[in-house]
Every structure is written in structure tokens, then in C-alpha cells.
């Protein structure tokens, strides 16, 4: 038993440092496809890592930091990561019993997550994430998930080894269901904070914001700016992603602004998939 524990520790230490981890879910605005560009923009060295708009955690799983604070306002998402960390085997076992068909999908969608156990709730989240139309997690103003069935024939809910590696990595993290401003209580000098809020809209209809029932307003973007400044004063490395909009450019004009080309993937319309310019804003070179 003890030998197995040591072996497991050695194995997972190796895995978490050497082998990359893919995000476990699809997420609007996920940064997986930008990592090749982003990796040149991250600070070379830092202490703790903070990601207060976690989503699919593409940057967290790419960096695999030894210590991290992860925050998101989406309660289902946070419960999912807690269960991946604490009960990965039970989660995989349960979701594997779920059927990919329309009737079953709507049965699961109708369940009230607050009346489920933590593991059932995480399995529902993972199932809906993988079988909903376009992999979108969208809620209405009452917080009710409202995406239709995606009509997929076959769905892979998880990659077992990848999920187990994610589970081990999450053991190094404090995971919080909270507003992003909470990060200012945790981040210290020398830490790296990556901010990836819902983007400021370039037009009235563009940009998806309904990850949570509250959406994300102009006032919220001004709060992000305040947090960016506070963290800068504390001596943290701060990196922010946002849209290439005049409002964001003006707001962050005192910082280092880099343009990057991004492909939009969670968008059903072909014209929405063209490369577009987005901004990365940093308080360091
Ligand atoms: C653009 S996504 C982040 C994507 C992430 N970087 C990835 O790679 O998947 C924005 C995230 O912010 C979260 N969010 C929205 N409002 C928030 C708030 N006030 N505080 C914290 N998180 C919030 C959403 O639930 C969503 O997961």
C-alpha cells in the first residue's frame, strides 16, 4: 500500500510536470488555440498562479503551476472542478452510464442541479457540456441552462488519463466560486495573474456573455481595470485578454498592448470562424 502510494506520487509528479493536460470541457472563449502565441507572452518566472475567470482553464492546464488560485462565477463549473479533484473515478463511472440521445438529454437538462449530489451535479455538467449544441454553456436570466441538444451520435465524455492528470494538478489549487475581484485578496508580489473576462463587445450582437445569469457589463470591465491596477501596485505580473475595441485600448493605454490573431471556434456561422484580432494586455515586457 505504502509502495503503491509512493509509486503513484512519483508517477503523477512526473505526469504533472512532463505531460501536458488538455482542458476537460469545451468553453466559449477558451484559449486552447491561442497557447502557441500566448506562451511567448507569459512571464518567464513567477511564484503562485491565479486565474479568476477560469472557464476551461486552458492556460492553467498548459502552465501546470505548483500552486494556484482558481476562481469562476459559474457555480456548476466550480463544482465540476472540485469533483474532478476529489472524486475523479466516481465522476467517470457515473457519466459513462449516460446515454447520448435527445430524450435523455432533456431529462438531464431539466434536473435541478441544487437537488443533486456534488458528483451527480458534476456528471450533469460534463454531460451537457459535451452533448449540447456547439458545446456551449449558456444560461438564461434565471440561471437555467437553456442550450438545445447537439444531435451528436457519439460523444467522448472524457479521456481517462487526461482527467486523472487534471485531478492531480487540481490538488495544488485553491478553487473558489466567487467574483473575480476576490483575486486581489490572494495575489502577492511575484505572482502571475491571468485575466480572461467575457470580452467587451465589438458590436451590439457580437460576443457571448451569458456564462452566468448576470452577464458582464461595461461596469464589470471597469472593475477589471481597477483589479489590473491594484495587482500592478502589489507587484504581480498581470496579463489580460480582451477584444480589439477602442474602449479597451483607451482604458489600458498605459500598459503593453499586443495584437494576436484568434480563430473563433464556438460559433455556428461560418463567417464567425474567421481569424480576428484580439488584444493581450500586460504590465510587463
Ligand atoms: C472568456 S471565459 C474564460 C475562458 C478561459 N480562459 C478558457 O480558456 O476557457 C470567461 C469566464 O469568466 C467567468 N465569469 C463571468 N463573470 C465573472 C465574474 N464576475 N467573476 C468571475 N468569473 C466570471 C465565466 O463563467 C467564464 O468561465
> Is there a domain that residue 7 lies in?
no
pLDDT band at 213 (very low <50, low <70, confident <90, very high): low
> Is there a domain that residue 5 lies in?
no
Name the domain count of the chain. Answer: 1
The SS3 assignment for 279 reads: strand
Cell numbers representing residue 248 in the block: 479597451
* CATH number of the domain encompassing residue 83: 3.40.50.150
> Is there a domain that residue 6 lies in?
no
50 lines ligand 1 (CB under 6 A): no
CA of 172 to the centre of ligand 1 (A): 20
> Is there a domain that residue 15 lies in?
no
* Ligand 1, atom nearest to 27 Cα: 9
pLDDT band at 2 (very low <50, low <70, confident <90, very high): low
**Mean pLDDT, rounded, for 152-156:** 89
31 lines ligand 1 (CB under 6 A): yes
Exposure string for 30-50, b = 16+ CB within 10 A, e = fewer: bbbebeeebeebbeeebebbb
Q: Is the pTM of this model over 0.95?
A: no
26 lines ligand 1 (CB under 6 A): no
pLDDT for 13 beyond 50: no
Domain that holds residue 86: 20-282
**Mean pLDDT, rounded, for 181-186:** 98
29 lines ligand 1 (CB under 6 A): yes
The rounded distance, in Å, linking the Cα atoms of 98 and 85 is 21
> Is there a domain that residue 3 lies in?
no
135 lines ligand 1 (CB under 6 A): no
Amino acid at each position: 500500500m505504502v509502495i503503491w502510494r509512493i509509486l503513484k506520487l512519483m508517477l503523477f509528479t512526473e505526469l504533472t510536470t512532463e505531460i501536458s493536460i488538455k482542458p476537460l470541457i469545451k468553453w466559449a472563449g477558451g484559449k486552447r488555440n491561442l497557447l502557441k502565441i500566448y506562451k511567448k507572452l507569459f512571464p518567464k518566472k513567477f511564484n503562485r498562479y491565479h486565474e479568476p475567470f477560469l472557464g476551461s482553464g486552458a492556460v492553467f492546464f498548459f502552465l501546470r503551476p505548483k500552486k494556484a488560485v482558481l476562481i469562476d462565477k459559474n457555480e456548476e463549473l466550480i463544482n465540476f472542478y472540485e469533483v474532478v479533484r476529489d472524486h475523479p473515478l466516481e465522476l467517470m463511472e457515473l457519466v459513462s452510464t449516460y446515454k447520448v440521445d435527445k430524450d435523455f438529454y432533456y431529462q438531464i437538462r431539466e434536473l435541478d442541479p441544487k437537488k443533486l449530489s456534488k458528483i451527480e451535479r458534476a456528471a450533469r455538467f460534463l454531460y451537457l457540456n459535451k452533448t449540447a449544441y456547439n458545446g456551449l454553456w449558456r444560461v438564461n436570466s434565471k440561471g437555467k441552462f437553456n442550450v438545445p441538444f447537439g444531435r451528436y451520435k457519439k460523444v467522448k465524455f472524457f479521456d481517462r488519463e487526461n482527467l486523472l492528470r487534471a485531478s492531480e494538478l487540481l490538488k495544488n489549487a485553491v478553487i473558489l466560486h466567487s467574483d473575480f475581484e476576490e483575486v486581489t485578496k490572494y495575489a502577492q508580489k511575484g505572482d502571475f495573474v491571468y485575466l480572461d473576462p467575457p470580452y467587451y463587445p465589438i458590436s451590439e450582437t457580437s460576443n457571448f456573455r451569458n456564462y452566468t445569469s448576470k452577464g458582464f457589463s461595461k461596469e464589470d470591465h471597469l472593475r477589471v481595470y481597477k483589479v489590473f491596477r491594484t495587482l500592478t501596485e502589489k507587484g504581480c505580473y498581470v496579463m489580460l485578454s480582451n477584444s480589439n475595441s477602442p474602449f479597451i485600448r483607451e482604458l489600458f493605454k498605459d500598459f503593453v498592448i499586443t495584437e494576436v490573431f484568434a480563430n473563433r471556434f464556438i460559433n455556428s456561422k461560418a463567417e464567425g470562424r474567421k481569424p480576428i484580432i484580439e488584444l493581450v494586455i500586460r504590465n510587463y515586457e
